[in-house]
């Protein structure tokens, strides 16, 4: 692992390594997840063309006229997929903090198919709801789905690293993520011609809700910050050729807070012509099976200690968090 300011984990090197070396690398990941849970992953093997095609498709979508983007709009507030227009979400509300809406718009898509035999009505109405695809740009859906599939695969590989880091068998999480309900979100943070309201950010401070998030911030961009263990806000740099990974609430719950689901946010660019830059990112939110119970992993419990949290179900937990962030119509 190389580490200047920010840890970079070489996934290809890990996967090539023999068991004892994997354990040693896992210990480094454990140390990171105990402090911030944010690291860069290189050696991921995702083809650059897949990344570029999805990135360019999202870029073209966000540059359509507002009425064209609106054709792919989510049909009602709280619907998870399709286009969510400007100021429709306030992430800080997921932590019961009243906040103006985030200065962003997004396009969101869910799992490619519904698992056979799934009948849970909430699951069907929420995470298996249809993605509202835009008609333009041409090829958007194909590029999106190719990137989504790569992210799902990468997330499963990282979950194997996490199992090793927790000194568990590598396939420990496999059954819990066999029918994942992950979501991919393309984010556009527009140029800020008008000054933000007091307390209004590009993305308010929040933790992510699921198992792990795979972020691709725009190359060379700033704005993403994490609150480090000392309580200071610290920038997370985009790392060329790597994805930024962070763990979410379910990993903290699973590990009884051995690992931290770190607070993060996207701050506004400095005012003025040079600072009013648009920023794009991709966030893939990996989420265990809808009906998977997430409870403290026995080996994460110190002898004599009690679990800190009641178990939750992956899907209903995600749904309640997501719905808590819906901003009232302006
Ligand atoms: O855009 C980014 O870099 C991060 C966005 C984020 O944290 C989120 O949407 O959960
Ligand atoms: Fe986030």
Domains of the chain, earliest start first: 8-324 (2.60.120.330)
Pocket test for ligand 1, best of 264, 268, 279, 325 (most atoms within 8 A of CB): 264
Nearest ligand to residue 223 Cα: 1
**Which amino acid residue places its CA nearest to atom 9 of ligand 1?**
283
pLDDT at site 44: 98
**Which amino acid residue places its CA nearest to atom 8 of ligand 1?**
283
Pocket test for ligand 1, best of 6, 38, 187 (most atoms within 8 A of CB): 187
Distance (angstroms) between ligand 1 centre and the Cα of 256 equals: 24
Count other C-beta atoms under 10 Å from residue 130's C-beta.
Answer: 11
> How high is the mean pLDDT in each 10-residue block of the chain (330 residues)?
73 98 98 96 98 98 97 94 94 93 97 95 96 97 98 98 98 98 98 91 97 97 95 95 98 98 95 76 98 97 93 97 84
pTM over 0.95: yes
pLDDT at site 327: 83
pLDDT at site 209: 96
Instruction: Indicate if ligand 1 lies below 6 Å from the C-beta of 244.
Output: no
Pocket test for ligand 1, best of 224, 238, 278 (most atoms within 8 A of CB): 224
Cite the DSSP H helix spans in 18-100.
Answer: 19-35, 48-62, 66-70
Nearest ligand to residue 202 Cα: 1
pLDDT at site 89: 93
**Which amino acid residue places its CA nearest to atom 1 of ligand 1?**
281
DSSP-assigned states of every residue in 159-227: HHHHHHHTTS-TTTTGGGGSS---EEEEEEE---SSPPPTT--SEEEE---SSEEEEEEPTT---EEEE
**Which amino acid residue places its CA nearest to atom 10 of ligand 1?**
208
Q: Of all atoms in ligand 1, which is nearest to the CA of residue 189?
A: 1
């Amino acid at each position: 692992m190389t580490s200047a300011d920010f840890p970079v984990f070489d996934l290809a090197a890990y996967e090539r390594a023999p068991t004892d070396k994997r354990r040693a690398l896992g210990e480094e990941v454990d140390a990171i997840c105990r402090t911030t849970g944010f690291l860069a992953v290189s050696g991921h093997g995702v083809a650059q063309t897949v990344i570029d095609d999805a990135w360019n498709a999202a870029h073209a979508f966000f540059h359509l006229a507002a009425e064209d983007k609106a054709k792919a709009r989510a049909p009602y507030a709280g619907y998870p997929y399709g286009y969510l227009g400007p100021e429709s979400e306030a992430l800080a509300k997921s932590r019961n903090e009243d906040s103006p809406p985030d200065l962003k718009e997004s396009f969101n898509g869910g799992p490619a198919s519904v698992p056979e035999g799934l009948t849970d009505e909430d699951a069907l109405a929420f995470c298996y709801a249809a993605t509202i695809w835009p008609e333009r740009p041409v090829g958007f859906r194909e590029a999106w789905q190719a990137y989504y599939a790569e992210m799902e695969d990468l997330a499963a590989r990282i979950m194997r690293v996490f199992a090793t880091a927790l000194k568990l068998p590598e396939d420990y999480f496999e059954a819990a993520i066999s029918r994942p309900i992950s979501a991919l979100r393309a984010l556009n943070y527009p140029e800020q011609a008008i000054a933000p309201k007091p307390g209004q950010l590009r993305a308010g401070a929040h933790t992510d809700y699921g198992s792990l998030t795979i972020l691709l911030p725009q190359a060379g961009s700033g704005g993403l910050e994490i609150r480090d263990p000392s309580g200071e806000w610290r920038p997370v740099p985009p790392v060329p050729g790597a994805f930024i990974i962070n763990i979410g609430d379910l990993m903290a719950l699973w590990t009884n807070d051995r690992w931290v689901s770190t607070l993060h946010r996207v701050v506004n660019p400095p005012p003025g012509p040079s600072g009013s830059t648009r920023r794009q990112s991709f966030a893939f939110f990996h989420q265990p099976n809808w009906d998977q119970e997430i409870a403290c992993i026995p080996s994460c419990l110190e002898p004599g200690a009690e679990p800190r949290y009641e178990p939750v179900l992956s899907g209903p937990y995600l749904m309640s968090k997501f719905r808590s962030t819906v901003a009232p119509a302006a």
